[in-house]
Structure 1
Amino acid sequence: MGNTHPGATSPLGMVSACAYSGAYPTGYGRYAKNTEGVPEEMFERLQASGFTHFQQSGTGAIRKYYNYVRVTPMVQPLDALGESWPLYDEVARAGYYAATLDTGIRCELTVGAKVAVHRYTFPEHGSARIVIDLSCGGLAIDLGQTVPVRAQVESMGHGRAQGTVVMEGVPLSVYVEVDSPGWRQMLWYDRRLIDGGTRLDFDSIRHTTLRPFGMLFMGPAAPGQTVEVRMGFSLRGCEQARQNLERECGHTEQAFDTVLFRTRARWAEHLDRVQVEGGTPARRTVLATSLYHALIKPCFADDESPFWPTPGPFAFDVCTMWDIYKTQLPLLAAIAPDRAAGLLESLIRVCEEEGNFPIGYRMSRGADRFFRQASALAHTALADAHALGRAELDWSWALVHMVGDLRRGYGEDFYERGVVHPITHTLDLAYAHHCTAQVARALNDGGLADDLDELARQWHNAFDPGTGLLRDSEFYEGGKWNYSFRLLHDMAARIALAGGDDAFIGKLDRFFGYGAEAVQRPGRRPTPAEMAAGYALNRFEGLNNEPDMEAPWAYHYAGRPDRTAEIVHAALTWQFGTGPGGLPGNDDSGGLSSWYVWASLGLFPVAGQNLFLVNTPAFSRAVLQAGGNEFVIETSGHRETPIGAEGLDRHPPAQYVQEATLNGKPLHATHLSAATVHEGGLLRLRLGPEPSAWGRGLRPPSLSHPLSRPLPTSEVTR
């Protein structure tokens, strides 16, 4: 279960819209909450009680589900509101979603950056209606409902209405225009019409006192009559919501096609920033879908922050940095650099307002900052941005916050003792100190950089020299084996701690199951004993969790890029597909899909180190629009291989890099600086069916290995 949804979205936009059933976790679909095995069904069929806005994408149990402002087209009385009807004839494209309700109403949705437009085609009926429920929020699962604490709704006549609901401490405003000439409009409360009422105010709402409320438009419908519902959203009041609607929809009464055309154009522009040649149809479909998923989140609502009055970027649905900082943020830095810089500016402003960089940040006030997951992750993205020199930030001010944040949460204990538990936070904090030191040194604060570097060396306190693995501790969604192979800033010393290349490779081989007997797959409903037996194997489970995403590339640092090629090839071939189960785990806001994009290109970003590792690509040729420049990856000897969804009955062999050139000059290293990739150029890879000596001698850079460093273009022949 990737936990994605097929609703209408705009690239990194504020608003999404989708059919709403109340299922876990996006509000769409049929399934209940689940963490192991195949989830149980909540509903026997696809169904919807209406269409909601603001969905998560690919997340798991985050306790924040949105699905605000439900719009329900009906030919039943208002008493039927909340019932669900079967869905038929679904269509989903970038920026567009459509389905037919069992009631015979054809429903189409599209969104802009801050608006949503619905178009409903009714059958003939004497009293059709469109009901907007502003009290809706969350899911139909235990403890899944979101309840507004305050609200205001106003009917303004002539098909116009507006309202504000305070959800999770955030005021969400909507301005509505309904193109329904001759229809009546009314407010309603507790499924009862308020005849003649033009305003509802709720100063205090509780779970026990909540009754649904909203606005309604009703009248006769001729056969095939369409009604358009246009909604502008804002976090700064109804007037700004109205302005957002006017800005994106103009003054036309039929805005659906206009908004859809513009959103499709934005999607085409963004998706064209990664182009590939070759590949089977299924492999190309998975890549395009992955790129699409990678560009849904975070949500950007520029000039919309409800927490500070000044203009500028405001980003939410950073769910969470732990999910996206290694793969998705480097992808955004390449293909959407303005949005990547805007995210960092927004996070700095959050740090100003709240006193720390969040690990997770959603459209809520001070809730679920996820310190259990990890520590000090924004530092990694900030260090990469500074090294690239593309983000126009006040770096002196950013450094102040980077340093201050290092002492938050577990940071104080790390500063005093050099080690904290859960032990993975020791690695997080050591790495964050290293990233911050790079920024401090670049800003000519050598004394601060030296102090930070000293603390950055404390990563080794997390490891047991006797085993070469992490010390015993608690682990978030994993175990010591999963976390023991993350890419640190001193991998040469890390490998030496494990006993050298051979010992380190031996541990990696064990983790990935080389030479081991096949493991029996658990059933659809694995028992606790089956789950415990699986975890006890201490094996690579696939790409269903963040600690495992970078582990295949650890082989690069031990001189075995051929092993990386085999594992990544196997993952691309067997763990992704075009049908149900086509993702090996939660997509996590695009973090997993971003992994697929990078792996398909034959590149992997080492976040925080201004570095890319090179591997066998999945396509014969690819073009990455990085920072506005074209970085081209071309291969010779490339062999097309199908993927598991295409009916494979055997494991197609991997291919290996035999030699490489960069801009016509030999490249003997398995790595490139991120600056080299962003400057554009031509990387040629000759592939073959057997492992080669390429890349075994010159390792990726480590602090304690002075001969290992990213090579500028001018030095690739040395």
Structure 2
Amino acid sequence: MGNTHPGATSPLGMVSACAYSGAYPTGYGRYTKNTEGVPEEMFDQVQASGFTHFQQSGTGAIRKYYNYVRVTPMVEPLDELGQAWALRDEIAEAGYYAATLDTGVRCEITVGAKVAVHRYTFPEHRSARVVIDLSCGGLDIELGRTVPLRAQVESMGHGRAQGTVVMEGVPLSVYLEVDSPGWRQMLWYDRRLIDGGTRLDFDSIRHTNLRPFGMLFMGPAVAGQTVEVRMGFSLRGCDQARQNLERECWPAQPGFDGVRVATRARWAAHLGRVHVEGGTPARRTVMATALYHSLIKPCFADDESPYWPSSGPYAFDICTMWDIYKTQLPLLAAIVPDRATDLLESLIRVCEEEGNFPIGYRMARGADRFFRQASSLAHTALADAHALGRPGIDWSWALVHMVDDMRRMYGEDFFEHGVVHPIAHTLDLAYAHHCTAQVARALNDKHLADDLERRSRQWVNAFDPGTGLLRDSEFYEGGKWNYSFRLLHDMAARIALAGGDAAFIDKLDRFFGFGAAPVTQPGRRPSPSEMAAGFALNRFEGLNNEPDMEAPWAYHYAGRPDRTARVVQSALTWQFGTGPGGLPGNDDSGGLSSWYVWASLGLFPVAGQSLFLVNAPAFERAVLRAGDAEFVIETSGHRETPIGVDGLDRDPAPQYVQSATLNGEPLHATHLSAADVHRGGRLHLRLGPQPSGWGCESRPPSLSDPRAIPEEAR
């Protein structure tokens, strides 16, 4: 589970690099594509045919996984290119990956923001070689291969070469330097050397006429000889790729070691933004890993947009907003606020160019933007950024695009009828109208704000008053029970629609299985009937489903934060670990790992409302560095859980908040404003083994609560 990879990455950097098997997931794995359970194995060992660049992190069955520009160290003839060798002695650290091929070649890779550096240590051989394959892309599964549309490769002489491949409509350029004195360099096509050739051009390539092509460096090697391959990448041509390489590889300590040290320092700075104390070693390991996974994506390629000529931030690998908007975007806004602002600026520019805010945005040209998942999700992050007073965004221009985006795609039906199917898009659009209304009101466009707020109340059209649940419809990866407990902007009215606190809590209890008989878990490869029986339970899927991520916190709005504590702490204890299966589902670009970070801190961001809900944390003390400020979460009465034989916490008995103070003042509510967290301060939580009355009366704000409506709008 998880669908992550152990390759070298840089915090939110453009480039990653990893061993390439061609199998699911990410190109590093051993499996065929799957949707339920454990997939079938393509081969029975971890193996690689080389090392590729640009991997996705934690995404599911999206087929296209980049894996461009494969580099293969070989002591076999070029005809053997493409075969795989077993990997052993793997090492994975932040910014560094190493393994030994069965051929005896030791392989090391590190990356910077826009560069990758490979170092290969060869055994003695009379004809060693490093082969760069520019035709590689995607996965070796059905419909998984990515084929260049056009390509150009050029040998520059003296260990230098460059090339551009147009993949999925995007021109990816690479400039490389190979430190291999005395070796020959040649171009090759269809596994045949082009002696004396210096350039290859392909105007059009189809799947049926693709033949591998690239460049090769070849010569004798003595035992222990190292060859270093330095690669700069760009989406704006080979000249910029060369400049990127020069900028990152040469300013201080040159080459591999310099890039590795610089990237390690960047990781230390980013990971140091969250510090925890207490907890078991296993829990601290999972926490650090979750924070690392949360900071791999999106990929930032500043001044690299292939679609518009101006400079500025450009972000891709937003796969997808549906996965990351609830948890990961608020985490980025807290610990890397400048980058979070850059992401929003990039999204605004994408909307300006394409007419819509993307739901998913990859390094690909085309209309495939995952719109079936959801609608208008960027509005939540924009509303939160505006509420926090983030500089660097032209808010009048942003508001134009926020409004226009809601009138396209499913938004047209919502505008005309107040409801749209799939029904979850009705909730998305109503919520986006609420978020946009807050920005419009702050910009003194009262007429627009009033109209948007009126339309935001049409979330009610999505629900069946007879059941208190969503109406029957199609749902993306879930059902109406999964989606019925979304945290809306008017939870007070939502609970009233369900019949009041008791009825709403009863439905939540049923969803989470309180009082129900134990469920028989499906096997490693469940049958369709097993899966159908599981879905028919209409139960919480344990964070394997994005709509379920926020559902435990719905109890807060009904005055039962103790129920939230039981569900969340059980999930932290039982569903995450340090070994295989340590994630309960796809990590989805860091969305799931970001949930773990927040839940462990005892906080949950309500995206779009500039709000945090409070719960008992997993650690005795934690420090969140939000921008230049520190928000400290400390506890008294925190109980260390015992450690099981596998090194994991195995006491699911929860702890409950008995009382709380914020900066020394009593806190009776179960929520904080985002401003409270971002400006820094001290939250003290007194914990105990039994539920208390804390937070049962003071509910989080709702639109129908007069205290939640700005005075000028009443």
- State the TM-score bracket (shorter-chain normalisation): over 0.9
Q: Does 1:485 pair with 2:485?
A: yes
Instruction: Say if 2:694 is the partner of 1:699.
Output: no
Contact 2:291–2:594 (CA<8 Å) still a contact in 1? yes
Who is 1:339 aligned against?
Answer: 339
* Structure 1 residues 393-436: Cα deviation after superposition (integer angstroms, max 9, x where no partner): 00000000000000111001001100000000000000000000
**What are the equivalent positions in structure 2 for 1:60-209 lying under 5 Å apart?**
60-209=60-209
Which secondary structure does the structure 1 equivalent of 2:181 belong to?
Answer: coil
User: 1:75-113: per-residue Cα shift (whole Å, max 9, x none)?
Assistant: 000000000000000000000000000000000000000
- C-alpha distance in structure 1 between counterparts of 2:254 and 2:221, whole Å: 17
1:149-548 superposed matches below 5 A: 149-250=149-250, 255-548=255-548
- Cα offset, 1:367, TM superposition: 3.8
Mapped partners of 1:139, 1:564: distance in 2: 41
TM-score (ref. length: structure 2): 0.98
Question: Matched residues in 2 for 1:553 and 1:203: separation?
Answer: 55
Q: Which amino acid aligns with 1:135?
A: S
* Partners of 2:653 and 2:446 in 1: CA distance: 50
Partners of 1:420 and 1:541 in 2: CA distance: 26
Paired residues for 1:601-620 under 5 Å:
601-620=601-620
Aligned residue identity for 2:79? D
Residue-by-residue CA offset, 1:621-657 (whole Å, 9 max, x unaligned):
0000112210000000001125778367964310000
SS in 2 for 1:87: strand
Q: Determine if contact 2:560/2:696 at 8 Å carries over to the other structure.
A: yes
- Whether contact under 8 Å (2:14, 2:114) holds in the other structure is yes
Question: Separation in 2 of the partners of 1:541 and 1:576?
Answer: 14
Partners in 2 of 1:543 and 1:23 — Cα distance?
A: 25
1:704 maps to amino acid: S
CA apart distance, 1:708: 6.0
Over residues 122-179 of structure 1, what are the superposed CA-to-partner deviations in whole Å (9 max), with x where a residue is unaligned?
0000000000000000001000000001000000110000000000000000000000
Report deviation, 1:32: 1.4
**Structure 1 pair 512–251 and aligned structure 2 pair: CA distance change class (3 A):** closer
Distance (whole Å) between structure 1 residues aligned to residue 34 and residue 357 of structure 2: 30
1: distance between equivalents of 2:556 and 2:311?
44
| Equivalent residue letter for 1:558 | A
Shift of the 23–611 alpha-carbon distance from structure 1 to 2, 3 Å rule, reads: same
- Residue identity opposite 1:356 in structure 2: N
Gap change, CA 1:251 and 1:162, over 3 Å in 2? farther
Query: Aligned in 2, Cα 1:283/1:709: closer, same or farther, shift over 3 Å?
Result: farther
1:69 alignment partner, SS class: strand
1:551-591: CA deviation from partner (whole Å, max 9, x where unpaired): 00000000000000000000000000000000000000000
Quote how far apart the aligned CAs of 1:389 are: 0.7
CA distance in 1, matches of 2:363, 2:406: 25
**Amino acid in the other structure paired with 1:158:** H
The offset of 1:391, in angstroms, is 3.6
Contact between 2:110 and 2:117, CA under 8 Å: does it hold in 1? yes
Q: 1:73 to 1:252 in 2, by over 3 A?
A: farther
CA shift at 1:529, angstroms? Answer: 0.6
Letter in 2 for 1:261: V
Aligned residue for 1:58? 58
Structure 1 contact 282–646 (Cα < 8 Å) conserved: no
Tell me the TM-score normalised to structure 1 length: 0.98
Q: CA 1:478/1:522 → structure 2, altered by over 3 Å: closer, same or farther?
A: same
Structure 2 residue aligned with 1:713 = none
> Does the 8 Å CA contact 1:317/1:363 hold for their aligned counterparts?
yes
Q: Give 1:613-628 correspondences, 5 Å limit.
A: 613-628=613-628
Partner of 1:552: 552
SS at match of 1:157: coil
- What's the secondary structure of 1:363's corresponding residue? coil
Q: Report the 3-state secondary structure (helix = DSSP H, G, I; strand = E; otherwise coil) of the residue aligned with 2:156.
A: strand
Local SS of the residue matching 1:646: coil
> Is the CA contact (8 Å cut-off) linking 1:135 and 1:147 kept in structure 2?
yes
- TM-superposed CA distance for 1:25, in Å, is 2.5
- Alpha-carbon distance between aligned partners in 2 of 1:185 and 1:647, rounded to the nearest angstrom: 51
Unaligned runs of 5+ in 2: none
Separation in structure 1 between the aligned mates of residue 61 and residue 9 of structure 2, nearest angstrom:
22
1:61: how far off?
1.5
Q: Which runs of 4+ in 1 moved over 2 A?
A: 251-254, 642-652, 706-710
1:353-379 deviation per Cα after TM superposition (whole angstroms, max 9, x unaligned): 001111000101124201100000011
Amino acid at match of 2:342: G
Q: Could you tell me which amino acid in structure 1 is paired with residue 508 of structure 2?
A: L
SS of residue matched to 1:185: strand
Q: Note if contact 1:701-1:709 (Cα within 8 Å) is conserved in structure 2.
A: no
Structure 1: tracts of 5 or more residues without a match: 711-718
Q: Aligned in 2, Cα 1:580/1:644: closer, same or farther, shift over 3 Å?
A: farther
Deviations 1:334-353 (A, max 9, x none): 00111110110000000010
Is the 8 Å Cα contact of residues 668 and 695 (structure 1) preserved in structure 2? yes
- SS in structure 2 opposite 1:38? coil
Q: Quick check: 1:282–1:645 contact (8 Å CA) kept in 2?
A: no
Whether the 8 Å CA contact 1:700–1:708 is kept in 2: the answer is: no
Distance 1:523 1:318 in 2: 32
Q: Give how far 1:254 is off.
A: 5.0
**Could you tell me which residue of structure 2 aligns to residue 576 of structure 1?**
576
Is the contact made by 1:234 and 1:240 (CA closer than 8 Å) also made in structure 2? yes
Alignment of 1:8-19 (within 5 A): 8-19=8-19
Q: Verify the 8 A CA contact 2:9 2:94 in the aligned structure 1.
A: yes
Per-residue CA deviation, residues 283-332 of structure 1 (Å, 9 max, x unaligned), is 00000000000000000000000000000000000000000000000000
CA separation in 2, counterparts of 1:15 and 1:249? 14
Q: Cα–Cα, structure 1 residues 64 and 434, in superposed 2: closer, same or farther, change >3 Å?
A: same
Q: Answer yes or no: is the 8 Å Cα contact 1:187–1:194 preserved in 2.
A: yes
Q: Find the aligned partners of 1:269 and 1:241 in 2 and give their Cα distance.
A: 26
**In 1, Cα distance between equivalents of 2:234 and 2:604:** 37
Kindly report which structure 2 residues correspond to 1:650-689, keeping only aligned pairs within 5 A, or say none. 651-689=651-689
Structure-2 separation of matches of 1:176 and 1:253: 18
Paired residues, number: 710
In structure 2, C-alpha distance between the alignment counterparts of 1:10 and 1:649, rounded to whole Å: 31
Aligned equivalents of 1:497, 1:643: Cα separation in 2: 44
1-structure distance, mates of 2:324, 2:709: 25
Q: State the Cα distance separating 1:251 from its structure 2 match.
A: 7.0
Offset of 1:33 from its aligned partner? 0.8
Distance 1:462 1:376 in 2: 17
What RMSD, in angstroms, separates the aligned Cα atoms of the two structures?
1.3
C-alpha distance in 1 between matches for 2:211 and 2:293: 36
Contact 1:575 1:644 in 2 (8 A): no
Q: Which amino acid aligns with 2:363?
A: M
Partner Cα distance (1:645, 1:462) in 2 = 48
Contact preservation (8 Å) 2:282, 2:648: no
Greater CA drift, 284-293 or 651-660: 651-660
Match of 1:565, SS state, is helix
Q: Shift of the alpha carbon at 1:56? A: 0.3
Structure 1 distance, partners of 2:434, 2:337, is: 23
Q: Which residue number in structure 2 is paired with residue 714 of structure 1?
A: none
Aligned-partner residue type, residue 586 of structure 1: N
Aligned-pair CA distance for 1:706: 2.5
